[in-house]
Structure 1
Amino acid sequence: MLLNRRQVLTAAGVAGASMLIGTGRAAAEPNGWEGWLAANRGHVGAVIDDGRGGRLSHRPHQEQPLASAVKAVHAAGYALAVGQGRVRPDEQVRVGDWEKYYYGLDGGAHQASMADLGIASANGVTADDPDRLVSLDDLAKVAVLHSDNAAADFVRTRVGDASLRAAALSCGWPGVDTRSIAGEVLMLILPDRAPADPSQRKRVGDLLAAQALHDPRLQLEIIGRFPDIPATYDGQRPWARQTWHGSAAGLHRLHRSVAGGRFPQARTHLERAFPGPLPKGVKAIGFKGGSLPGVLTMAYTVRWEDGRIGTGVLLAEEVDESLSTKAGELADLVLGPLLDPASLRDLRATLVA
C-alpha cells in the first residue's frame, strides 16, 4: 500500500524544515559582506550591467551552486510551454499531486505557498484537502515568489525538462543544469544512493525522485532516515556543494532576456517580489535568489520607464554561517549598482583587485 504524502511527512517529523537555511546563531562577521567579498574573490561570480554603460564582470563563466536562483529557469520553461500552447496557465492541478514532490526541507516555503493561495493546513505541513485545485500558473508563481521546491519540480515535470533547457538556450544559456530538486534532497536524506561520479547526479536524482513517487518501500526508508540528516549548517555544506550549478553569465543572460519581454509570464512572476513603491523612474524590479548551507545567490533586474534594463547577478559559495542570515545586506550590494553608479564603483573596487 502506498503511503500518502501526509503520512510520509508527519512520520518523518518535518517540523524542523528550516535546516536547509541555517540557524543564524553564529557570531556576526565583523567585516560584513564587503570584507568577505574582498577576501573571497575566488568564491564569487558576478555579472552586472546597469543598462547605461556601467558594467562589472568577475569570474562570469565559473560554475557555482545556484540554490533557488535556478527557479528562474523553471519560470522561463513554463512560459515557453505556455507560448507554444502546450500548457495553459489556468490548467487545474490537484494540491495532492503538487505535494507528491514535497519533502519538507525547504525552510517553510511550502507553508508560505499554501498561505498565499488560501489553502488550509491544520497540521502545518500539508494541505487539509489534497483534492483542492490550484492553477498551473499558481504553482509557477509560488515556485518563484516563495521558492517552493515541490512547485518547481511539478512545473518541471509538467512542461518537461527539455522546455527548461530550451528556454535557457534561447536566452543564450546552453547546457543549463536542470536536475530534480527532490532528487537532490533525497540524496541528502539517503546519501548512500548518491553516485560517486558527480556527472551522474542528475540521472540518479531524477530516477530516485520518480521512484519515490510510487515505491512504498522507498517511502518507508525515507521516513526512517530523516533523523540521520546532518542537522547543522556545516554538516550540510558538503551536500550543498554538489547540487545544481550554473554560471553568473548564464543566469545574467536569462534574466536580461526575460526582463526584455522574451517570456512574459516569467517576467510577471519574477517581478512579484517588488510590488512597489519603486524608485523614481523605475517601472519594475525583478528578483530571484537562493540559499543553501554555504551558498547565497542573487539575481536582479531593473526596468526603467525610459526602456533601459539593468541586470545584476552575484553567486557566492563557501559562505560562513556568520553571514548566511545577512542576505539582505548582500542584496543591497547587488541591487544598489543597478540604481546608483557610485554603488557600482564600490562593488567593482571590492571584487576587482
Structure 2
Amino acid sequence: MLLTRRDLLRTCGVAGAATLAPTATAAATAGPDDWFGWLRAHRRQVAAVLDDGRGGRVAHRPDERQPLASAVAVVHLGAYARAVEAGAARPEERVGVGEWERYHLDVGGGAHQASLRALGIRSTNGVVADDPHHAVTLDDLVAAAVRHGDHAAADFLRHRLGEQALRETAARWPTLPVPEVLGEVLRLVLGRRVDVRRYLDDPRLQLEVIGRLPDVPRSPEGRRPWAGGTWTGTAAGLNRAHRALTAVPLARAHLERADADLGHPLPPGVAGVGFAGGSLPGVVAVGFGVRWDDGSVGSAAVLVEEVDEPWAGRAGELAELVRRALLEPVVLREFRASLS
C-alpha cells in the first residue's frame, strides 16, 4: 500500500520548534537573575538593534548572523503584501488544509496545533486536521506563520508566492534568509539534507523518516546543535524589515494584531505596536515595530543563541523587555548598559 502524506503526518510527532509571546512579568531593573544580567554575561551570544524613533538607539553586533527561528516570517509577510498589491495573490484565496499540511512534519512546540485551534479546525489526533479538504484563506495562512510560528504555513507561502518573490523581498533587508523549513526538519530527523520535493513525492523516503523518528533527540539540549545550524540572519536586517513593514498596511495589520492578541494596551502617544518572534532549542529571536502618533517609527530586533533550557523558558520575558525598550527610555538605557 502506498504511504500517503497524511499517513506520515499522523505518525510523526517530535518536540522542538515554537513561536513565543511577550509576558507581562519583566522588570526594568538589572540583576543577575533577569535578562539584563544574562545579556551582560553573554554578550557574544547576542545581536541587537533597537531604535525607539525618539532619538534612542542601541546597536550590538548588528551584522553578525544568528538563527532567526520563526521571526523570519516577516520575509513571507512582506512578499505576501507585495503580491497582493501587484494582484498576484488575493487574501481571500481558498487553500485546502491538506495542501498546507503537505509541508507539516510535527516538531513540537504546538505551533501548527495552535493554528488549527485558532481557525476552529478539528484535529482529533492533535497532529493534523481531520478533514484535509477543509478550506482556509491565504490570509489565514499568513496569520498562522506570523502569529503562531507555523512553519508549514511559511513553507506553503514560499511555494505559493514563489521562492524568487521571497528572495526579492529579503534582498530589501539584507541579510535575511529564505528558508525551506521542512528541509531543516528533515535534516534533524535523517541527519542529512534531502530535497524537499523528493520527500513530498517519495513514499520510500517518507518511510525512512518514520523509521528514524525514534532516534531523534527528544530533549531541547539534544536539539541545540541542530537548531544552531538552522537559517540565520542579522539583527540589522530584521530591524529594517520591521521598520519598513510599519508603512505597509496589510503587513502592519498582521504584526499589530499579533501584539494586540497578547492583551497589551497601547500607551498614550502610540498608534500601534507590531510583533513577530520565535524560538528553537537554544535560540530566541524577537522583532518589533512601533508607530508613534506623531508619525515617527521605532523598531527593534534582538537575537540570542546558546540559551540553556531554564532561560529559554523565560523567552517571553525577553520579548516583553524589547517591547518596553521601544516605549520606555529607562528600559532602553538598561539595554545599552547591559550590552556596552
Q: Under a length normalisation based on structure 2, what TM-score does the superposition of the two structures give?
A: 0.92
Aligned partner (choices 256, 259, 273) of residue 246 of structure 2: 259
Distance apart, 1:141 and its partner CA = 0.9
CA-to-aligned-CA distance 1:259-303 (integer Å, 9 cap, x gap): 123xx3222111112225322221111111111111101111111
Aligned partner (choices 310, 321, 328) of residue 298 of structure 2: 310
Q: Which SS does the other structure have where 1:134 is aligned?
A: strand
CA-to-aligned-CA distance 1:139-176 (integer Å, 9 cap, x gap): 01111111111001000110011111212223xx2353
> Conserved in 1, the CA contact under 8 Å of 2:170 and 2:178?
no
Q: Match for residue 79 of structure 1?
A: 81
Q: Match for residue 7 of structure 1?
A: 7
Q: Distance in 1 between matches of 2:10 and 2:138?
A: 26
Superposed CA RMSD in Å reads 1.7
Q: Distance in 2 between matches of 1:243 and 1:35?
A: 27
> Conserved in 2, the CA contact under 8 Å of 1:79 and 1:266?
yes
Q: Match for residue 258 of structure 2?
A: 273
- Structure 1 letter corresponding to 2:178: T
Q: Distance in 2 between matches of 1:120 and 1:351?
A: 46
Distance apart, 1:112 and its partner CA = 0.8
CA-to-aligned-CA distance 1:10-45 (integer Å, 9 cap, x gap): 223x1xx443459xxxxxx96221111001111111
Q: Match for residue 133 of structure 1?
A: 135
Distance apart, 1:188 and its partner CA = 0.1
Distance apart, 1:101 and its partner CA = 0.4
The answer for unaligned runs of 5 or more in structure 2 is: 20-30
Distance apart, 1:80 and its partner CA = 1.3
- Structure 2 letter corresponding to 1:315: L
Q: Match for residue 177 of structure 2?
A: 177
Q: Which SS does the other structure have where 1:274 is aligned?
A: helix
Q: Distance in 2 between matches of 1:296 and 1:329?
A: 11
CA-to-aligned-CA distance 1:102-150 (integer Å, 9 cap, x gap): 0011411111111111111122211111111111111011111111110
CA-to-aligned-CA distance 1:41-82 (integer Å, 9 cap, x gap): 111110010001111110000011111111111111111111
> Conserved in 2, the CA contact under 8 Å of 1:296 and 1:324?
yes
Q: Which SS does the other structure have where 1:89 is aligned?
A: coil
Q: Distance in 2 between matches of 1:178 and 1:168?
A: 7
- Structure 1 letter corresponding to 2:328: D
Aligned identity (percent) is 54
**Deviant stretches of 4+, over 6 Å:** none
Q: How does 1:242-253 map to 2 (within 5 A)?
A: 242-253=229-240
2:112 counterpart of 1:110: yes
- Structure 2 letter corresponding to 1:36: W
- Structure 2 letter corresponding to 1:270: L
Q: Which SS does the other structure have where 1:301 is aligned?
A: strand
Distance apart, 1:332 and its partner CA = 2.4
- Structure 2 letter corresponding to 1:304: W
CA-to-aligned-CA distance 1:205-242 (integer Å, 9 cap, x gap): xxx22111111001111111111111111111111111
> Conserved in 1, the CA contact under 8 Å of 2:39 and 2:338?
yes
Q: Distance in 1 between matches of 2:74 and 2:268?
A: 26
Q: Match for residue 26 of structure 1?
A: none
Q: Distance in 2 between matches of 1:96 and 1:290?
A: 25
Distance apart, 1:2 and its partner CA = 4.2
> Conserved in 2, the CA contact under 8 Å of 1:106 and 1:149?
no
Q: Distance in 2 between matches of 1:161 and 1:177?
A: 11
- Structure 2 letter corresponding to 1:309: V
Q: Under a length normalisation based on structure 1, what TM-score does the superposition of the two structures give?
A: 0.88
> Conserved in 2, the CA contact under 8 Å of 1:43 and 1:317?
yes
How many residues get paired? 326
Aligned in 2, Cα 1:340/1:271: closer, same or farther, shift over 3 Å?
A: same
> Conserved in 2, the CA contact under 8 Å of 1:301 and 1:310?
yes
Q: Distance in 1 between matches of 2:57 and 2:306?
A: 25
Aligned in 2, Cα 1:224/1:347: closer, same or farther, shift over 3 Å?
A: same
Q: Match for residue 48 of structure 1?
A: 50
Q: Which SS does the other structure have where 2:171 is aligned?
A: helix
